[in-house]
Amino acid sequence: MRHYQASPTLSRQRGMVLIVALIILMVLTILGVSGMTTTSLQERMAANEHDRQIAFQTAEAALRTGENYIQSNSMDPSMFNSTCTGGSGGLCDCSDKTNGCPIYWSDQSLDVWNSANTNKHVTVQTAFSQVAAQPMYIIEFLGWVNPPGATPGTLPGPGKGDPMMFRVTALGTGQSPNAKVMLQSTYKK
């Protein structure tokens, strides 16, 4: 029986291929994991943007409904509640500029957007069935403005019979209760 002796260069290289292969495998694993992390982050961002778009669309629907309410009803300042509290039905008076007008839509003490306070806002029933809450709106009466062509600042100033100015504020919610969009418009009638 003959024994062959391995050359000295081959015996020194034994196992190097395994180490190089393991290093390449580790690099590929790190690249794969980071790629999966990036993909899942992008999926979450896309889902959040979709949810925000749904909230925007519901808020837009409520805003248009509030504007249509102003346009289709005869608006009398006595309909508006000066404190936007119980029984206001989403109609708030903000025409008394002497004491300043509270910001009804962001005042935490008034809490006009609380779903339990249905008498402080108007809930709009929309075709969006997959939302966490249907959109809501309030209408604030801001006062009278000068009619077209009138000189601003002339006495007696705008009053009854002149065009009325309103602010409509709408709050829309997406599929998640955390996705909320608030829109406002100023409407003259």
Amino acid at 36: M
The predicted-structure confidence for 8-20, as pLDDT tens digits, reads as follows 555 555 677 778 8
Provide the 8-state DSSP code for 81.
B
According to the model, what pLDDT value does residue 44 have? 80
pLDDT of 21 higher than 60: yes
* The two structure tokens encoding residue 76: 């009398």
According to the model, what pLDDT value does residue 63 have? 92
Three-state SS string over the chain comes to: CCCCCCCHHHHHHCCHHHHHHHHHHHHHHHHHHHHHHHHHHHHHHHHHHHHHHHHHHHHHHHHHHHHHHHHHCCCCHHHCECCCCCCCCCEEECCCCCCCCCCCCCCCCCCCCCCCCCCCCEECCCCCCCCCCCCEEEEEEEEECCCCCCCCCCCCCCCCCCCEEEEEEEEEECCCCCCEEEEEEEEEC
According to the model, what pLDDT value does residue 6 have? 57
Amino acid at 40: S
Tell me the pLDDT band of 34, cut-offs 50, 70 and 90.
Answer: confident
According to the model, what pLDDT value does residue 91 have? 78
What average pLDDT does range 98-123 have in this prediction? 67
Contact (Cβ atoms closer than 8 angstroms) between residue 149 and residue 133: no
For the chain, give the percent of residues with pLDDT over 90.
2
pLDDT of 54 higher than 60: yes
Which residue in this structure is represented by tokens 């403005």? 145
According to the model, what pLDDT value does residue 13 have? 57
According to the model, what pLDDT value does residue 150 have? 66
Tell me the pLDDT band of 94, cut-offs 50, 70 and 90.
Answer: confident
What average pLDDT does range 154-181 have in this prediction? 79
pTM for the full predicted model: 0.68
| List of residues 6+ apart from 75 with CB closer than 8 A | 141, 164, 166, 189
